Amino acid sequence: MMNTYFAKLDMTLDTSDVFTDPAALRCNGEYLRQQKYGVALLRKKSFTSVPNRSYVAADKDAERLIAQLPQRLLNIEVPKVWVLDMQAPVQEPEVMLAPHVDGVRVTAINIYSNTNGERTCFYTYAAGGEIQEVDSFVAKDGDIWLMDVSKPHAVELKPAKNRRVLTLSFITTPFDVVRKVLSCLPS
């Protein structure tokens, strides 16, 4: 059975010089509010939730990255290019970007540059507030992962470590559509 939450992509994208200091980029948003998924998980385990900041990649970088994607994907939707930045506090042993769904996009291609063994977890959520982990992965620097961010997911962070991800964000194109187009790429 094919995973319906995420897939590691066997592709490369030239991201040189894109992962710049977020202070030099325009902030796209800061996400602080705990969604119902995170509240449900707090009933099962103790953790400190950290905010996630999103920055808009420079236009020249975004254009260069987008030009590397298959035209048949761009004909469906041209993704937004953002840099996600998560800072885990030093003093907290159990730190995570709490379970959430992304409200502004449905599918993401994440390109990892600053990893520390963090685990990305996906969950099911049932009426009544029951949350259950269903699958997870650990990305390494240089990995590219396709994710269905319309489903509850979280990131277990490492204390005192910064996590930065370059993400190609599809606002309306579902995970299965993007996966199908990308699975047709030559190896």
pLDDT in tens, 155-174: 998 888 888 889 999 999 99
Residue 1 lies in a domain: no
Q: What is the pTM of this model?
A: 0.90
For the record, the structure tokens of 35 come out as: 């969604």
pLDDT at 148 over 80: yes
DSSP state of 33: P
CATH number, domain of 100, equals 2.60.120.10
The whole-number pLDDT of residue 185 equals 59
Query: Mean pLDDT, the chain, as a whole number?
Result: 86
- Into how many domains does the chain fold? 1
Residue 176 lies in a domain: yes
Domain span including residue 64: 6-183
Instruction: Please report, rounded to a whole number, the percentage of residues in the chain having pLDDT higher than 90.
Output: 48
3-state helix/strand/coil string of 72-141: HHHCCCCCEEEEEEEECCCCCCCEEEEEECCCCCCEEEEEEEECCCCEEEEEEEECCCEEEEEEEEECCC
Residue 155 lies in a domain: yes
CA atoms 34, 53, 114, 160: torsion sign: negative
